[in-house]
C-alpha cells in the first residue's frame, strides 16, 4: 500500500477520536487496552499458581521483588506517559511534523534511560538491603531480581512504543501484539515449571517473561522504524533538543515522582507488615492486591484510553467534547466497579481457597484483608475517571500531588496509627488501604469536577498549560 494511503488510514482514527460517536470511540480505544491488561493480570495470577503448585519458591518473594521492580520501572513508564501526552496533543492539533519530532525525542530519551537501568544489577544486594528486604528473599530470589532488571530495559522501550501507538489510537494493533506476548509467557512458564527440567527456581519464571517481552520489543522496534509509520523513528532523527526534552521532562517528572513514591510506599508497607505480622501477611496482602487488581486493571484501561481521547481533543480545542467524554467514562467505569465489587465480595472465600488451598490460616488472613480492600474499588474508579482528565490535559503536577497524598497523608499515617496506637491485628493493612483509597479517590474526583467546570468550550494552551510548558 502507498505510504500516503497508509497515512490517510491512520489519520481516520484521529478523526474518529475528534468527531466520532464518543460512546463507541471510548470502547474502541479502551477495550483493546482492557483485554491486554486483563491478560497480563491473568498470567500474573498464573505465576502465583505455578509457584504454589510446583513448589519452586515463595509467593511472598515474588510480591516483594515485583513491587521493588515496579518502583524502578516508574522512570521509563513516567517518561512514556509524559511524552505520549505531548505527542497525542500535537497529533490531535493536526501538527504531524511536530508530533513526529516529539516522538523521536521521547524515543531517544527512553533509550538512554533503558540503558542506565542496568546499573541496578551490580548494586542489587545493597539496594535491596537499603529497602529493608527480608534476607531470605535476597538469598532465594536474587537471580529473579537480576532478570527483572533486564526485563525493565525492554519494557522501558516497549512502554515508549505503546505510548506512541496509543497516541494515534492504534490500540487494536497493540492488542494483537500483546496476545502474542501472553501466549509466549504462559507457554514458557508452563514448560519451565512442569517440563523435563531439574532445579527450577522462580528465576525461570522471570526468564519466561523476558522471552515474551523480547518478542514485543522486536515487533515494536520494527513498527517504530517502519517507513509507513506516520510517526516514524529514525536514527538520524534522534532528538536531544533541549527545548523538546525539557518539555517532555516537565510533563514526565511529576508522574515519575508520584508513581515512584507511591510504589516506594508499597515497599514500605510490606516492610511494616513483615516486621509486625510476619511474612505470611505480606503474601496475603499481595494476594488481596492481586484479587482487587482485576478491577483496578479495568479502571486503568479506561483511564489510559481516556487520556488519549482527552489529549487529542484538547489539541483540537474541543472543551465541550471533553466534558461529554467525562460523563461517558464515568458511567462505564462506575458500572464496572459496582458489578465487580458485588461479584468479588460474594466470591471472596472461594477466591481465598483458590490462592491458598489447604491452608486455613492463610485463607482467613486473605479474606480479612481483602474484605476491606474490596469496599474501596468504587473510589478507585472515581480516581481513574479523574486521572484520565488530568493526564489528558497534561496536569501531571496534580496527579503527582494526588499520588503523594494517597501515600503520605492517608495510607502510611493510618497504618502506623492502627499498628502502634490502636494495636490492631493484621487487618490494619486492609483497613489502611480502604481509608487511603476512599479518601484519595473522592478528592481526585472532586478536583476533576472543579477543573472541568473552569475550562472553556475551546481551551487554549496558554491558559491551561502555562505552568507545565
CB 435, CB 292: distance < 8 Å? no
Q: How confident is the model at residue 7 (pLDDT cuts 50, 70, 90)?
A: low
Q: Which of 224-233, 257-266, 304-313, 413-422 has the lowest mean pLDDT?
A: 257-266
pLDDT in tens, 344-377: 889 888 888 877 777 788 889 889 988 898 888 9
Query: Taking the CA atoms of the chain, what radius of gyration do you get in angstroms?
Result: 22
Residues 115-129, buried b or exposed e (16+ Cβ, 10 A)?
eebeebeeebeebbe
Is residue 36 predicted with pLDDT exceeding 80? no
For position 311, what pLDDT does the model report?
84
Residue 460: its pLDDT value, please?
Answer: 53
Query: In the chain, how many domains are there?
Result: 1
Residue 3 has pLDDT above 70, yes or no: no
Q: 423 phi and psi, to 5 degrees?
A: 55, 45
What pLDDT was estimated at residue 461?
A: 47
Among 25-39, 202-216, 298-312, the range scoring the smallest mean pLDDT is: 25-39
Q: Answer whether residue 321 shows pLDDT above 80.
A: yes
Question: pLDDT tens digits for 279-297?
Answer: 788 778 877 877 888 888 8
Residue with cell 478507585: 380
The confidence score (pLDDT) of residue 339 equals 93
Per the CB < 8 A criterion, the answer to whether 252 and 396 are in contact is yes
pLDDT of 440 > 70? The answer is yes
Beta strand extents in 233-355 (DSSP E only): none
Query: Domain containing 169: what range?
Result: 3-464
- What's residue 2's pLDDT? 47
Residues 6+ away with beta carbon under 8 Å from 444: 382, 383, 386, 387, 402
What digits encode the pLDDT tens for the residues 191-221? 988 888 888 888 888 899 899 999 999 999 9
pLDDT at 4: 54
Q: Which of 95, 220, 243 is nearest to 164 (CA)?
A: 220
pLDDT above 70 as % of the chain: 93
Residue 469 domain flag: no
Percent of the chain with pLDDT over 90: 25
State the pLDDT at residue 16. Answer: 74
Q: Which pLDDT score is estimated for 199?
A: 81
CB neighbour list of residue 305: distance below 8 Å, 6 or more residues apart? 26, 29, 30, 33, 166, 171, 388
If you search the block for the grid coordinates 506512541, which residue do you land on?
A: 164
How buried is residue 371: exposed, middle or buried, by Cβ count under 10 Å (0-12/13-18/19+)? middle
Confidence of residue 139 (pLDDT cuts 50, 70, 90): confident
Mean pLDDT, to the nearest integer, of 122-130? 88
Among 46-50, 422-426, 443-447, name the one with the lowest average pLDDT.
Answer: 46-50
Specify if 385 maps to a domain: yes
Identify the CA nearest to 322 among candidates 335, 311, 333, 337: 311
Instruction: Give yes or no for residue 469 having a pLDDT over 60.
Output: no
Q: State the pTM of this model.
A: 0.75
Confidence of residue 112 (pLDDT cuts 50, 70, 90): very high
Contacts of 240 (CB under 8 A, 6+ apart): 105, 108, 109
Backbone angles phi, psi at 131, to 5 degrees: -85, 10
* Residue 99 placed within a domain: yes
Write down the pLDDT at residue 435.
Answer: 93
Residue 18 lies in a domain: yes
Please give the average per-residue pLDDT across 372-384, as a whole number: 91
* Cα–Cα distance list, 97 to 87, 160, 169, 233, 381 (Å): 10, 18, 17, 12, 36
Q: What is the pLDDT of residue 142?
A: 87
Mean pLDDT value across residues 244-273: 80
From residue 161, alpha-carbon distances to 76, 105, 158, 167, 227 in Å are 11, 13, 5, 10, 15
Which residues have C-beta within 8 Å of that of residue 41, sequence separation ≥ 6?
Answer: 290, 293, 294, 297
Q: Residue 307: name the closest of 363, 244, 235, 384 by CA.
A: 384
Amino acid at each position: 500500500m502507498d505510504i500516503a494511503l497508509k497515512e490517510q488510514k491512520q489519520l481516520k482514527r484521529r478523526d474518529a477520536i475528534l468527531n466520532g460517536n464518543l460512546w463507541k470511540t471510548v470502547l474502541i480505544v479502551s477495550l483493546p487496552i482492557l483485554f491486554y491488561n486483563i491478560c497480563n493480570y491473568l498470567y500474573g495470577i498464573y505465576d502465583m499458581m505455578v509457584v504454589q503448585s510446583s513448589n519452586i519458591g515463595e509467593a511472598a518473594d515474588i510480591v516483594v521483588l515485583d513491587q521493588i521492580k515496579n518502583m524502578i520501572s516508574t522512570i521509563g513508564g513516567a517518561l512514556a506517559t509524559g511524552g505520549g501526552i505531548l505527542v497525542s496533543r500535537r497529533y490531535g492539533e493536526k501538527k504531524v511534523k511536530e508530533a513526529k519530532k516529539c516522538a523521536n525525542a521521547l524515543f531517544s530519551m527512553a533509550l538512554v534511560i533503558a540503558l542506565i537501568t542496568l546499573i541496578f544489577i551490580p548494586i542489587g544486594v545493597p539496594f535491596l538491603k537499603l529497602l529493608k528486604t527480608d534476607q531470605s528473599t535476597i538469598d532465594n530470589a536474587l537471580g529473579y531480581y537480576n532478570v527483572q532488571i533486564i526485563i525493565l530495559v525492554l519494557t522501558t522501550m516497549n512502554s515508549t512504543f505503546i505510548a506512541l501507538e496509543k497516541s494515534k489510537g492504534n490500540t487494536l494493533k497493540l492488542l494483537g501484539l500483546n496476545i502474542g506476548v501472553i501466549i509466549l509467557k504462559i507457554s514458557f512458564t508452563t514448560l519451565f515449571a512442569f517440563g523435563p527440567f531439574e532445579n527450577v527456581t522462580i528465576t525461570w519464571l522471570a526468564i519466561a517473561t523476558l522471552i515474551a517481552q523480547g518478542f514485543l520489543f522486536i515487533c515494536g522496534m520494527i513498527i517504530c522504524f517502519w517507513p509507513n509509520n506516520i510517526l516514524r523513528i529514525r536514527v538520524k532523527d534522534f532528538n536531544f533538543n533541549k527545548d523538546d526534552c525539557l518539555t517532555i521532562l516537565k510533563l514526565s517528572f511529576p508522574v515519575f515522582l508520584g508513581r515512584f513514591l507511591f510504589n516506594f510506599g508499597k515497599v514500605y508497607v510490606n516492610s511494616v507488615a513483615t516486621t509486625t505480622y510476619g511474612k505470611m501477611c505480606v503474601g496475603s496482602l499481595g494476594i488481596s492486591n492481586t484479587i482487587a487488581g482485576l478491577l483496578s486493571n479495568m479502571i486503568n484501561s479506561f483511564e489510559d484510553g481516556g487520556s488519549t481521547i482527552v489529549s487529542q481533543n484538547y489539541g483540537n480545542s474541543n472543551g465541550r467534547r471533553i466534558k461529554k467524554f467525562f460523563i461517558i467514562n464515568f458511567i462505564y467505569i462506575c458500572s464496572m466497579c459496582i458489578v465487580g465489587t458485588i461479584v468479588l465480595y460474594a466470591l471472596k472465600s472461594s477466591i481465598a481457597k483458590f490462592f491458598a488451598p489447604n491452608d486455613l490460616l492463610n485463607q482467613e488472613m486473605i479474606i480479612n484483608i481483602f474484605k476491606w480492600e474490596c469496599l474501596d474499588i468504587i473510589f478507585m474508579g472515581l480516581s481513574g475517571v479523574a486521572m484520565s482528565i488530568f493526564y489528558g490535559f497534561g496536569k501531571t503536577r496534580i496527579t503527582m500531588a494526588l499520588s503523594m497524598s494517597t501515600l503520605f497523608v492517608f495510607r502510611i499515617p493510618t497504618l502506623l496509627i492502627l499498628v502502634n496506637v490502636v494495636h490492631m491485628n493484621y487487618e490494619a493493612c486492609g483497613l489502611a488501604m480502604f481509608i487511603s483509597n476512599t479518601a484519595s479517590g473522592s478528592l481526585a474526583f472532586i478536583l476533576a469536577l472543579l477543573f472541568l467546570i473552569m475550562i472553556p468550550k475551546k481551551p487554549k494552551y496558554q491558559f491551561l498549560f502555562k505552568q507545565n510548558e
